[in-house]
Every structure is written in C-alpha cells, then in structure tokens.
Amino acid sequence: MGADARAGADPAGGAMSAALMGRSLGLFALAGLMEIGGGYLVWLWLREGRGFVFGALGGLVLFLYGIVPTFQPAHFGRVYAAYGGVFVILSVLWGWGIDGRAPDRFDVIGATLCLLGVGVMMYWPRAPVPQ
C-alpha cells in the first residue's frame, strides 16, 4: 500500500476530505516555516556574522524540513510544485513580520496568484484515473 492510500487520499483521484485537506495545509505551513526559518538561521550566520551555532541549527532545521513533505497525500511532483506557491506566500509574510518589509501591491497580487495555483494543483477534485 502506498503512502497516498495510508494517508486517506483517493489515489485514483476525486475530492479530498476536509480533514485530509486541513492536515495537508498544516504540513505545508510546517514545511514552509522550517525551510524559511532554517534558511534564515543560515543567512544570519553567513551574512550577519552570527555564530556557527546559527548555521548548524539552520542546517538541522533544513534537513528536518525535507522530511515533512513526505507526509503529504499526493505524489512528489504535485506536492513540491504546490509547495512552491506556499513558499512564496510564507516568504512574503516572513519578510513582513520578521524583517519589517511590508509587501507592496505587486507582492500581494503575486502571492494571491500563487495561493490560487496551490488550491487548483493540490485540492481541485479530479476525475478518477483509469487503472
């Protein structure tokens, strides 16, 4: 049995349950925070002269980030393509909240388009795939 079937997804297509969609969105958020947070720690180490501990911790968080997407209820290509949109949104929010750089209207428009793309790619119901 594949990971998709164990996670409760319909491997033949169709709609995803609300519970599974909520879990998937939570996994995207966790992966994004880990990737951006780990990258930020490495940034602080190399660009801002913080200690090696920042870089090492950043590397560990980035390693753990690589594990999180494996729990998604879809195949690799779809998960990572959709995650790209989530990453864009979370990066804009991180820059605003942590670095204090407010997004301009083009950042907001672009992030909104990414969010729409994620919704279509990951959560739009599909016709069952013939087997």
| pLDDT tier, 7 (very low <50, low <70, confident <90, very high otherwise) | very low
Rounded Cα gap, residues 11 and 2, in angstroms? 9
Please give the average per-residue pLDDT across 38-57, as a whole number: 97
- Give the type of residue at 84: G
Residues facing residue 126 across a β-bridge: 14
Q: What angle do CA 30, 72, 87 make, to 5 degrees?
A: 45
pLDDT of residue 129: 67
Rounded Cα gap, residues 77 and 80, in angstroms? 5
**74: which DSSP letter?**
S
Locate all alpha helices (DSSP H) within 48-128, ordered by sequence.
Answer: 52-67, 76-97, 105-118
Is the per-residue pLDDT at 71 higher than 50? yes
pTM: 0.78
